[in-house]
């Protein structure tokens, strides 16, 4: 085997350093950052067992939107989280915000989940192709067939105002409500 030349060693060192830097600058589990524009999407969604076509653009025209991603309908933690959002939906509405849950579940599963766990209080969208999930950097790294538990507050201008990522479902509602309260009044009420 030929011995590498000094220039080849230098090139390999630079490549290794750049590779390491790319891992540090944007970890694989990173969410979109505050101020980043979010992908605009339409998707099949369910509310109260009825399916419809959800549009993020239409929702943002009315005010801020909490877009929260969850791994799987009817799992214990996802049901806890959906129930918490349902119980707090009037608080979100009082702040001029709407809520949409997104998972890779099929629309039939989410139609049932929208009644049972979401209590017919807010819609959940199906993203079986995971294009929305990937666009929001919400793909679970350890289980790429699922969305990570990640909540965004999206300002009416379509930019991330806040995000919270944690597999524990307990703080997502509290933290997104606090973020909405902190939005400038001109931003919160469009």
* pLDDT, tens digit, 9 for 90 and up, residues 53-80: 999 999 999 999 999 999 999 999 999 9
Q: How far apart are CA 31 and CA 52, in angstroms?
A: 27
Sign of CA dihedral 36, 18, 28, 163: negative
Q: pTM of whole model > 0.75?
A: yes
Q: How far apart are CA 90 and CA 102, in angstroms?
A: 20
> Does the pLDDT of residue 43 top 90, yes or no?
yes
Section 95-120 average pLDDT = 97
């Amino acid at each position: 085997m030929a011995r590498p030349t000094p220039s080849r060693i230098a090139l390999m060192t630079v490549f290794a350093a750049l590779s390491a830097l790319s891992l540090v600058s944007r970890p694989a589990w990173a969410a979109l950052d505050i101020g980043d524009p979010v992908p605009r999407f339409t998707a099949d969604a369910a509310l109260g067992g009825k399916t419809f076509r959800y549009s993020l653009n239409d929702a943002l025209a009315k005010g801020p939107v909490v877009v929260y991603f969850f791994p799987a309908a009817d799992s214990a933690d996802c049901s806890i989280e959906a129930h918490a959002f349902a119980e707090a939906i009037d608080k979100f509405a009082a702040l001029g915000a709407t809520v949409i849950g997104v998972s890779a579940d099929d629309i039939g599963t989410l139609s049932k989940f929208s009644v049972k766990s979401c209590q017919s209080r807010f819609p959940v969208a199906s993203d079986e192709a995971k294009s929305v999930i990937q666009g929001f950097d919400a793909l679970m790294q350890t289980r790429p067939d699922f969305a990570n538990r990640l909540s965004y507050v999206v300002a009416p201008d379509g930019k991330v105002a806040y995000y919270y990522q944690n597999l524990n479902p307990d703080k997502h509602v509290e933290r997104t409500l606090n973020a909405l309260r902190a939005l400038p009044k001109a931003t919160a009420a469009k």
